[in-house]
Amino acid sequence: MTPRAKPANLRARLYTVLMVLVLASTALVVRAVDLQVVRKDFYQGEGDARYLRDIPIPVSRGTIFDRNGEPLAVSTPVESIWGNPQELLANPDQLPVLAKALGVTTADLTERLVQRKDKEFLYLKRPVDPEAARDILALKIPGVASERA
């Protein structure tokens, strides 16, 4: 072999290395498309499940004082009682008990429920002090719940 002579299989080696690089690049591109396009929703959901959290943060307004330090406005915690008219009308035997707990007549409560029978939400009473709300919820009437206002 002379100094200027090239090996006979240099072109074949170059072609082989080039094909290996092209195949590796193609495999990486295919995998990237698979992860980022095809399975995007799956991995987005997995990431959200690990990262996002619904943490309720209870808040209350602060007391407002005058210049002498006397309270002008004091926040009082209250709740709202709401119900699902469809569920409540499905259990008419519970309506008198609920009406008594709410301080209304059974006829008035039934009338309000019938007016909103196609809805799934109706405020039954608000504002309600937390103790009264606990008493109403203790009746365990299906379709009745409360929320802090």
pLDDT tens profile 73-123: 888 888 999 999 999 999 889 999 999 999 999 999 999 999 998 999 999
Got the DSSP string for 1-39?
A: --TTPPPTTHHHHHHHHHHHHHHHHHHHHHHHHIIIIIT
65 lies in a domain?
no
Tell me the residue ranges of DSSP E strands in the chain. Answer: 64-65, 71-73, 79-83, 122-128, 144-148
User: Are 46 and 109 found together in one domain?
Assistant: no
146: CB partners within 8 A, 6+ apart: 79, 80, 81, 82, 128, 133, 136, 137
Burial degree of 82 (CB within 10 A; 0-12, 13-18, 19+): middle
Please state the domain count of the chain: 2
Q: How far is CA 142 from the centre of its chain?
A: 22
> At 31, which amino acid appears?
R
Q: Is 133 part of a structural domain of the chain?
A: yes
What is the residue range of 119's domain? Answer: 76-148
Is the Cβ–Cβ distance between 38 and 29 less than 8 Å?
no
Q: Quick one: pLDDT at residue 6?
A: 63
Taking only the tens place, the pLDDT of each residue in 45-74 is: 999 999 988 888 877 778 899 999 999 988
Do 30 and 92 fall into the same domain? no
End-to-end distance of the chain based on CA atoms, in angstroms? Answer: 93
Q: What's 87's domain CATH number?
A: 3.90.1310.10
Query: Using an 8 Å Cβ cutoff, are 129 and 84 in contact?
Result: no
